[in-house]
Structure 1
Amino acid sequence: MKQDIVKQSVSKLCFRNKAILAPMVRVGTLPMRLLALEYGADTVYCEEMVDIKMLQCRRVINDVLETVDFVAPDERVVFRTCKKEKDFVVFQMGTADAERALAVAKLIENDVAAIDVNMGCPKEYSTKGGMGAALLTNPDKVESILSTLVKGISKPVTCKIRILPSLEDTISLVKLIERTGVSAVAVHGRVKEERPQHPVHCDVMKAISEALSIPVIANGGSHDYIKEFSDLETFKQLTGAASVMVARAAMWNPSIFRKGGLLPLEEVMKEYIKYAIKYDNYYSNTKYCLCQMLREQLESPRGKKLHAAQSSQEICEIFELEDFYKETAEMLQARKAALKVQTQEEDQAEDTDVIKMAVRFVKFIVVSICALCRREYPPQITPKMCLLEWSRKQYLPQPEYDTIQRPLDRFFCSTVTVDGKKYRSTVWEKSKKLAEQAAAIACLRTLQLPEGRLSEGENNPIHKRKRDEKEAINGTGVTEDTDLECAHKKQQIIQKTSELDSSAVPQ
């Protein structure tokens, strides 16, 4: 039953008799993938994602861009996809561990069409970690990773390899790969040490195609064999493969997948820029891809301007797309504003048991037109500390903070629970820490308690704590809990010091 499902999925993914956009570093991003699909590519691969990096990400639905983002702890988008490519994008990962690979696959499988393991990357960053081409000589690990993925997820699993120096060893490896149950294998027809300037070994790929019953995807023919769409079939016949994967030739001009022939580069570059702006692609990545398309024209006036560009807006100006940039920016801003209003309305309608207040934590305030700042809180004193200290003195459980992040703009909102009641600031903050401080302020002000500001004078907890400690040491008062212990220790130190001084005086 599963084999039938896999066969249907493979057919749907176009692993047979079709053209495929291969992943390349910084090129297999969403704008380039969508452009390749528009021009006729049947399947697109994302750039290689390292398993450890992906496991640190959280899945975020981006309602503004209408995408699904996998966001790292530093808020950088590691992988972005959308509904338009869901049935055609293959997620390629770099891994050297079966369990990690499975964890990543489970994280991503509902947003992609298939999972691929890159076992052919010759770069040091990959091989040094036991990934990429390092796996070619580790058949046990290859079998473990692929078998675990095939058994563990519902989507098709593929892998991409390079050939080995020996044809016999290469055939042995691909047969092992076939036995794991993968749906297809992509073969770059060069050994690990060879580079694009070396001839691709079509004969070896043909021998692999004849030895396997699963689809073989031939890769490595750019420039030498593939310069336009009709060359895809020629390369396919030379290698005996089921389909052809294109990387460099597609990077130079993605319209290579177009049956009607290559389009003028100017038109292709403008279409790429539109996708990049629409999906908020980072400008340096957009610039890199455009430079790869320009190639020998990089020293032209336009090429020099592109090289100097420092923003997406500047790139649009170089290609006379200022109006498109402005219209798209306004459209996205309007969508963001509408979603913000909707979010606020939903927030007001929910959680009726939460006490809310529009407050925020500001450490410094501007006190003059010259932008002079005044400290609002003493060093090391915050509303959270004040709330914690008050809770302890009331013998209440420690305040609990529940913080969420809004997908719309990635701002934070926190709810604090104290003595069974919930408090929250209605102001969304840029960081988790600020959101929690704002929630603490909402609670303290509701309970009419000091929150630690310098303007509170004698009511400020820091002044009160120092006064209590002084009274405890002088024997005129006592403190509770940690304050009492601190005062007691200080008394012991003073007493011991006094004893040492007295013993040093001659009798």
Structure 2
Amino acid sequence: MRSGSWGRRGGCGSNPARRQNPLEYTTKGMTVNTPALSFRSKNILAPMVRVGTLPMRLLALDFGADIVYCEELIDLKMVQCKRVLNEVLETVDFIAPNERVVFRTCEREKNRVVFQMGSADAERALAVAKLVENDVAAIDVNMGCPKEYSTKAGMGAALLSDPEKIECILSTLVKGICKPVTCKIRILPLVEDTVRLVKRIEKTGVAAIAVHGRKKEERPQHPVHCEVIKAISEAVTIPVIANGGSHDFIKEYTDIEAFQQATGASSVMIARAAMWNPSIFRRDGLCPLKEVMQEYIKYAVRYDNHYTNTKYCLCQMLREQLETTQGKKLHAAQSIQEICEVFEMTHLYEETTAFLEAKKASLKSMLEDEDDQMEDTDVIKMAVRYDKREYPPQITPKMYLLEWCRKEKHPQPVYETVQRSLDRLFCSVVTVAQQKYRSTLWDKSKKLAEQAAAIVCLRTMGLPEGKFNEGENHLINKRKRESQELLNNKAHEDDLLVEASHKRAHVTEKTTDFSSSDMPQ
């Protein structure tokens, strides 16, 4: 297998990006060129939960990995995400509704990163694939995870007992996107059943299949079944990627080829051996762990990796050294800055943080200048913010504006809200009676931005907005009246129900008396 040397930034050498043959496809009337990702003769970083984030993937590429898989991401989480260009970090971020970064990638890995998802639904899997396909090299479906959180939802290894669903998911992806599709499985109890399943998978049109050579109930301490992977490799024509050799085979670079020969596979995927020391991909041998960890930290700081994830990955590298003084300090660290202090990299942290903050300030200044120069003369602007503490409970400027529009028989207010990619702040423009209003201040949420726009409109027209200091609040009084009417109506309905119940009881009693007196003795 081919690999390169390491030291992208002055470490042990550099691994130049390999040129791929372009694959041409057509989308929306335009011809697009994209690298065709080959899965033959490759050393691959396996998808690992909590480990396969951007810093580890880039580090693996530095050391010589040909392809890197991201950590498994569940389709239900991903379909809620929106794609955001992060101009400060120069990344593409997929952001959840709670503003958490679920998946982060960058241009450098674009042609070699495979996005792995957990899914048990073909249409949802396709929706996720379409969301990310322009930012990754391929899409993979995890069909081998034995963890309960995955199998209980019908994902991962649970799919192995449902070949029809496997076919449906993979066929839908292959037909629905332009990037290669792969899947990762575990072996079944019988070799013949495993081979039969893999042949069915091959017919869906996938570009490759990764095989973890253990059954779903087996764990890393159990021996990997190389003979089963070999039987699969001989049964299909698509590339087979052998996985599961870290415990029995792979301790250094030369062992990768030995594992490939033992399995007859096209490529090798490495998980735990790469987690312990990503320089396993380095042809010239392992680098000292201290250097490896320092390079990982550089990426973690540069790409704003969350400190808990950074700490987890470093702890996996330290392993038996966790009980040392350094290991205990790492375990106690509560921020990326404290992690840098543990490894005597405070200067790097300060330098990188200052650079990113300066870049952020510069970009923000440019955006504000552009905002000031925008020719939106038809928009009335004012520098205001909405502070809920200044208003009675459940009373807002938006409510006052809507009430005024109804009273004056205007169409209800229309809000148009945009989010700035730099800092993910919001600005809203409200249109009332064909006039637009907005605040020049950006807010941290869509709701706050809309309230600020409503305030600008109300203040421009000299209308009350519902603040405590405005005296008697007619909207509160109206709400009280409406609430009292509802209570009165409810009480009246209850009285009617009680009265009806009494009437039914009286009629039943009379009927019973009549019936009993009429009965023969």
Indicate if the aligned counterparts of 1:188 and 1:219 stay in contact, CA closer than 8 A. yes
Could you say what secondary structure the match of 2:283 adopts? Answer: coil
Letter in 2 for 1:359: V
Q: Which residue of 2 aligns with 1:370?
A: none
Q: Which residue of 2 aligns with 1:108?
A: 132
Indicate if the aligned counterparts of 1:10 and 1:183 stay in contact, CA closer than 8 A. no
Answering whether residue 49 of structure 2 is matched by residue 35 of structure 1, we say no
Indicate if the aligned counterparts of 2:22 and 2:34 stay in contact, CA closer than 8 A. no
Q: Percent identity?
A: 71
RMSD value over aligned CA atoms?
2.5
Answering whether residue 173 of structure 2 is matched by residue 186 of structure 1, we say no
**Distance apart, 1:352 and its partner CA:** 3.0
Q: Which residue of 1 aligns with 2:384?
A: 359
Q: Relative to 1, partners in 2 of residues 1:486 and 1:265: Cα closer, same or farther, differing over 3 Å?
A: closer
Could you say what secondary structure the match of 2:280 adopts? Answer: helix
Indicate if the aligned counterparts of 2:23 and 2:36 stay in contact, CA closer than 8 A. no
Counterpart pick for 2:438 among 408, 415, 424: 424
Q: Which residue of 2 aligns with 1:439?
A: 453
Could you say what secondary structure the match of 1:223 adopts? Answer: coil
CA distance in 1, matches of 2:489, 2:259: 88
- Structure 2 counterparts to residues 7-22 of structure 1, below 5 A: 12-22=36-46
CA distance in 1, matches of 2:488, 2:230: 87
CA distance in 1, matches of 2:102, 2:73: 8
CA distance in 1, matches of 2:144, 2:490: 68
- Structure 2 counterparts to residues 252-291 of structure 1, below 5 A: 252-291=276-315
Q: Which residue of 1 aligns with 2:464?
A: 450
Q: Which residue of 2 aligns with 1:208?
A: 232
- Structure 2 counterparts to residues 424-503 of structure 1, below 5 A: 424-457=438-471, 460-462=473-475, 466=477
**Deviation string, structure 1 residues 376-415 (Cα, Å, up to 9, x no partner):** 3233322112111111111111111112221211111111
Q: Relative to 1, partners in 2 of residues 1:485 and 1:23: Cα closer, same or farther, differing over 3 Å?
A: closer
Answering whether residue 111 of structure 2 is matched by residue 97 of structure 1, we say no
CA distance in 1, matches of 2:127, 2:463: 47
Q: Relative to 1, partners in 2 of residues 1:395 and 1:39: Cα closer, same or farther, differing over 3 Å?
A: same
Letter in 2 for 1:48: E
CA distance in 1, matches of 2:148, 2:384: 51
TM-score, normalised by the number of residues in structure 2: 0.85
CA distance in 2, matches of 1:230, 1:494: 83
CA distance in 1, matches of 2:462, 2:430: 16
**Deviation string, structure 1 residues 57-107 (Cα, Å, up to 9, x no partner):** 111111111111111111111111010100000000111111111111111
**Distance apart, 1:14 and its partner CA:** 4.3
Q: Which residue of 2 aligns with 1:405?
A: 419
Letter in 2 for 1:455: N
CA distance in 2, matches of 1:176, 1:10: 28
Q: Relative to 1, partners in 2 of residues 1:125 and 1:491: Cα closer, same or farther, differing over 3 Å?
A: closer
**Distance apart, 1:140 and its partner CA:** 0.6
Letter in 2 for 1:357: M
Could you say what secondary structure the match of 1:267 adopts? Answer: helix
CA distance in 1, matches of 2:240, 2:448: 54
Q: Which residue of 2 aligns with 1:117?
A: 141
Counterpart pick for 2:256 among 211, 232, 237: 232
Q: Which residue of 1 aligns with 2:360?
A: 336
Q: Which residue of 1 aligns with 2:346?
A: 322
Indicate if the aligned counterparts of 1:62 and 1:407 stay in contact, CA closer than 8 A. yes
Q: Relative to 1, partners in 2 of residues 1:260 and 1:345: Cα closer, same or farther, differing over 3 Å?
A: same
CA distance in 2, matches of 1:494, 1:158: 64
Q: Which residue of 1 aligns with 2:403?
A: 389
Q: Which moved more, 1:386-395 or 1:82-91?
A: 386-395
Q: Which residue of 2 aligns with 1:165?
A: 189
Could you say what secondary structure the match of 2:471 adopts? Answer: helix
Could you say what secondary structure the match of 1:60 adopts? Answer: strand
**Deviation string, structure 1 residues 171-217 (Cα, Å, up to 9, x no partner):** 10010011111110000000111100000011111111111111100
Letter in 1 for 2:133: E
Indicate if the aligned counterparts of 2:413 and 2:432 stay in contact, CA closer than 8 A. yes
**Distance apart, 1:461 and its partner CA:** 4.0
Indicate if the aligned counterparts of 2:427 and 2:446 stay in contact, CA closer than 8 A. yes
Letter in 2 for 1:448: G
Q: Relative to 1, partners in 2 of residues 1:494 and 1:16: Cα closer, same or farther, differing over 3 Å?
A: closer
Indicate if the aligned counterparts of 1:161 and 1:186 stay in contact, CA closer than 8 A. yes
Q: Which residue of 1 aligns with 2:154?
A: 130
Could you say what secondary structure the match of 2:102 adopts? Answer: strand
Q: Relative to 1, partners in 2 of residues 1:119 and 1:491: Cα closer, same or farther, differing over 3 Å?
A: closer
CA distance in 2, matches of 1:288, 1:52: 25
CA distance in 1, matches of 2:486, 2:212: 72
CA distance in 2, matches of 1:435, 1:192: 50
CA distance in 2, matches of 1:97, 1:379: 43
Q: Relative to 1, partners in 2 of residues 1:253 and 1:492: Cα closer, same or farther, differing over 3 Å?
A: closer
**Deviation string, structure 1 residues 41-71 (Cα, Å, up to 9, x no partner):** 0000001111111101111111111111111
Q: Relative to 1, partners in 2 of residues 1:450 and 1:172: Cα closer, same or farther, differing over 3 Å?
A: same
Answering whether residue 190 of structure 2 is matched by residue 176 of structure 1, we say no
Q: Relative to 1, partners in 2 of residues 1:452 and 1:112: Cα closer, same or farther, differing over 3 Å?
A: same
Letter in 2 for 1:272: Y
Q: Relative to 1, partners in 2 of residues 1:10 and 1:191: Cα closer, same or farther, differing over 3 Å?
A: farther
Could you say what secondary structure the match of 1:413 adopts? Answer: strand
Give 4+ residue runs of structure 1 displaced > 4 Å after superposition: 3-7, 9-12, 482-495
Q: Relative to 1, partners in 2 of residues 1:29 and 1:489: Cα closer, same or farther, differing over 3 Å?
A: closer
Q: Relative to 1, partners in 2 of residues 1:456 and 1:231: Cα closer, same or farther, differing over 3 Å?
A: same
CA distance in 1, matches of 2:483, 2:165: 58
CA distance in 2, matches of 1:405, 1:11: 32
**Where in structure 2 are there 5+ consecutive unaligned residues?**
1-20, 26-32, 493-521
**Distance apart, 1:6 and its partner CA:** 9.6
Counterpart pick for 2:75 among 46, 51, 59: 51
Letter in 1 for 2:471: G
CA distance in 1, matches of 2:491, 2:266: 87
Q: Which residue of 2 aligns with 1:479?
A: none
**Where in structure 1 are there 5+ consecutive unaligned residues?**
365-375, 470-481, 496-507
Letter in 2 for 1:339: L
Could you say what secondary structure the match of 2:366 adopts? Answer: helix
Q: Which moved more, 1:310-319 or 1:94-103?
A: 94-103
Indicate if the aligned counterparts of 2:69 and 2:115 stay in contact, CA closer than 8 A. yes
Counterpart pick for 1:61 among 75, 82, 85: 85
CA distance in 2, matches of 1:448, 1:41: 65
TM-score, normalised by the number of residues in structure 1: 0.87
